Amino acid sequence: MDDLREKIRLLSEALLLILIGVDAFALTVTVFLPVKPGTFSNIIALDLLTSLILAAAYLLRRNFTSRSLNILVVAVPFYFIGFSILGMAQYSPLLRLLNFIKVIGLSIALVQLAGSLGEFLRRSRLSYGLGFFMGSLFLFTVIFYLAESPVNPSVSTYEDSLWYVLQTLTTVGYGDIIPVTFPGRLAGILLMLSAIATTSLVTASATSTLMEKIGEEQERMMSERKEAFRLLEKRIDELEGRLERIEKLTRDLVDIMKKD
């Protein structure tokens, strides 16, 4: 039962971190770049869901302290309130500023709510690979969009740029979008190199974690063997002591019998 609870807890932590990361990425995009109305509506719904879940996650923490006041930022769905309820413009400077502040708050929430899964990511250094992947994803989508959208009919929206960068970073490469400008092609080359670097980072981190686990297991086995040998030596010493006492008693008995 405890094993099942631990698995459920780790799964919930993983889903929460993924939700926070996706929401932070989506909000960052809307702060700096234009998106389709349909995409914007989906981001509003995603941010509303994330805000509600984060509010619950903070309030249910046993160690809720003043440091948890980050809830005042991450639990407020600014786009839902400003755009859907108050009727503010999609690209309102105030909404952008508030959501930029929220992105910072979400970054803090990633650390505060990471739990044991976050500790594992730090110890295994997988966080570096994930951070590099997310950083590359955002940076190159912006560069590719700015370089290609004015001249490339295949890249008319940010979503097209995101699609190209995702398929390049994941080494899929469908070939449905081809850069036509020098900055766009350069971004494509750097993306390929980033994909190789990300794969190398993740592989190295996984290998390092595996070797650490093997080392810990070997140390545990050696410790158990040493403890077993120590107990065995102690047992042998006790038996030797008993044998010596028996021999002494036997000699004493023989001496008594001789006197008689």
Q: Which residues contact 180 (CB under 8 A, 6 or more apart)?
A: 148, 151, 152
Average pLDDT for residues 208-222, to the nearest whole number?
76
Query: Tokens at residue 250, please?
Result: 């036997």
Note the helical H segments in the chain.
2-32, 37-59, 71-74, 78-79, 93-112, 115-124, 126-148, 158-169, 182-259
| CA triple 204-208-211, angle to 5 deg | 140
Distance, in Å, from the CA atom of 107 to the CA atom of 100, rounded to the nearest integer, reads 11
Predicted pLDDT of residue 259:
67
Distance, in Å, from the CA atom of 143 to the CA atom of 257, rounded to the nearest integer, reads 105
Residue 57 has pLDDT above 70, yes or no: yes
Tell me what percent of the residues of the chain surpass a pLDDT of 90: 12
Q: Which long-range contacts (CB under 8 A, 24 or more apart) does 93-97 make?
A: 96/30, 96/31
Predicted pLDDT of residue 138:
83
More confident residue, 170 or 81: 81
The closest alpha carbon to 138, from 118, 111, 158, belongs to 158
Residue 125 has pLDDT above 70, yes or no: no
The closest alpha carbon to 81, from 38, 52, 114, 103, belongs to 52
Lowest mean pLDDT: which of 40-44, 45-49, 145-149, 218-222? 218-222
Q: Which residues contact 159 (CB under 8 A, 6 or more apart)?
A: 35, 36, 39
Distance, in Å, from the CA atom of 211 to the CA atom of 134, rounded to the nearest integer, reads 26
Residue 184 has pLDDT above 80, yes or no: yes
Residue 66 has pLDDT above 60, yes or no: no
More confident residue, 126 or 222: 222
165 CA to centre of own chain: 21
pLDDT digits (tens, 9 = 90+) for 230-260: 888 888 888 888 888 887 778 777 777 766 5
Average pLDDT, the chain: 81
Distance, in Å, from the CA atom of 164 to the CA atom of 55, rounded to the nearest integer, reads 35
Predicted pLDDT of residue 256:
73
pTM of this prediction? 0.68
Residue 21 has pLDDT above 60, yes or no: yes
Count Cβ neighbours within 10 Å for each residue of 146-156 and write b for 16 or more, e otherwise: bbbbeebeebe
Distance, in Å, from the CA atom of 96 to the CA atom of 93, rounded to the nearest integer, reads 5
pLDDT digits (tens, 9 = 90+) for 75-121: 889 999 998 898 888 888 899 999 999 999 888 887 777 666 666 66
pLDDT digits (tens, 9 = 90+) for 133-164: 888 888 888 889 888 888 988 888 888 888 88
68 pLDDT band, cuts 50/70/90, is low
Residue 69 has pLDDT above 60, yes or no: yes
SS (H, E, C) 153-184: CCCCCHHHHHHHHHHHHCCCCCCCCCCCCHHH
